[in-house]
Amino acid sequence: MQRDNIIEIIEELAQVIPPAPSAMTLPPRCYSDAAWLERERELIFQDSWVTVGRKERWQKTGDFVALDIAGVPTVMIRDKSGAVRAYANSCRHRGMKLLQGQGRCKVVVCPFHGWTYDLEGALISAPRMETCEQLDTERLGLVEFRLETHDGFVFVCMDPDQVSLEEWLGDFSDLHAPWMLEKLVSTRVREFEVGCNWKSFIEVFNEYYHLPYVHPDSITGYYREPDAADIVIGEYTTQFGVTDGTAALLEDSRQHALPAAPGLTGRNATGTRYTWIYPNLTFAACFDSLWMYQAYPVTVDRCHVVQTICFPQASLEMPNFEARAEAYCQRIDTALEEDLPFLEAQQQGLASPFARQGRFSALEPSVANFACWYADKMSTSE
Ligand code: FES
Ligand SMILES: [Fe+2]
């Protein structure tokens, strides 16, 4: 039965055909079928370059962040040489999850029976294992994944055969060069869970269609009609739109506006670029700040979200920066709070056996582009 479902969903995915104006939306069961999530784990999250955060989260030796990447406990740790490494967060003794949350450590000690690994992943101590025959500690180091950093974002890939991150991102760096993403500094990181599918969470940040309905009194007023989505090479989609003043502050806190990032000129200094690096990172590059979201599936109807807010270094040095940054955080949190009930209600609607595929408006080109990318990845025959 489950297999029949999957075949049916793949047939529906055949309707998600580029170009975006002729595509149908993703089949509702892609957002609600638990067996389908298993398929996503394998074909999306264990196959792609997945974003795990901004590089500033690993500033000192031993800094770590643990994240479950679609059911794969993973931990990123800064080693003694200053490189960040990604490991399967599973002890080599009997599988215990080694680290939780974030923090700093000198070595990684398993809380279950004390096996200890250095920051480079080698097993350096295994208490009371003397009677174990031919214990080859060299072969009991942590399982390591590929990790690369680009434009200040850290990515992990579990597939040794996937193309390089450089190739994955295509012309991303050229197109985003004016925003000097590498040089931004993150000042606040928050993690939380939301009762919706991970794709819905990212989709809502990449479309202008909902603004007057969901944000009528907060942010909709300063967004102008956006440009078409850019034609790009690489595993991402992006769309620029002019705004009246910064899009990163509420109307009544514009007195806190920070200047445009040094070097940003012309139209780029008058709007916001919304970008989605597939599968799970989206950010809004405003001329004065950037906010980003990483989303990871917990269950088919629940996701874990990491929210990060960044500013150019020059702004951090301005008078009253903290108070001004607080106003930026308020804008982002206000819009998020407005989106959440809609995302949860959308999840309920999508879970209905009578939910059907729909069509995209011209204000959702990035969502449509993602749908086409996703349909292609998920239609691979088993
Ligand atoms: S599971 Fe880690 S030491 Fe036993
Ligand atoms: Fe929104």
- pLDDT tens readout for residues 72-100: 999 999 999 999 999 999 999 999 999 99
Evaluate: CB of 112 within 6 angstroms of ligand 1.
yes
86 is a domain residue: yes
Q: What string of DSSP letters covers 311-373?
A: EEHHHHTSTTHHHHHHHHHHHHHHHHHHHHHHHHHHHHHHTSTT----B--TT-HHHHHHHHH
Q: Are residues 335 and 193 in the same domain?
A: yes
Long-range contacts of 365-368 (CB under 8 A, 24+ apart): 365/20, 365/228, 365/229, 365/237, 365/239, 366/206, 366/207, 366/229, 366/237, 366/238, 366/239, 366/274, 366/276, 367/203, 367/206, 367/207, 368/20, 368/21, 368/23
Q: Residue 82 C-alpha to ligand 1 middle, in angstroms?
A: 27
pLDDT in tens, 158-177: 999 999 999 999 999 999 99
Number of Cβ atoms within 10 Å of the Cβ of 11: 11
CB of 94 closer than 6 angstroms to any ligand 1 atom: yes
Q: Does residue 97 line the site of ligand 1, with CB under 6 A?
A: no
Pocket of ligand 1 contains residue 96 by CB under 6 Å: yes
Indicate whether residue 146 lines ligand 1 (CB < 6 A): no
Domain with 118 in it: what CATH number? Answer: 2.102.10.10
Write the pLDDT tens digit of every residue in 121-147: 999 999 998 898 888 889 999 999 999
Of the pLDDT bands very low, low, confident and very high (cuts 50, 70, 90), residue 1 is low
pLDDT confidence of 381, banded at 50, 70, 90?
A: low
Does some domain include residue 372? Answer: no
Q: Which amino acid is at 40?
A: E
Asked whether the predicted pLDDT for residue 356 surpasses 60, the reply is: yes
Q: Report the domain count for the chain.
A: 2
Ligand (nearest to CA of 342): 2
Statement to judge: residues 192 and 290 lie in one domain? yes
Q: Closest Cα partner for 107 from 136, 68, 79, 135?
A: 79
Distance 142 CA to ligand 1 centre (A): 12
State the residue range of the domain holding 141.
Answer: 49-157
Instruction: Kindly give the distance from the C-alpha atom of residue 337 to the centroid of ligand 2, in angstroms, as a whole number.
Output: 9
- The pTM score is 0.96
330 and 187 within one domain: yes
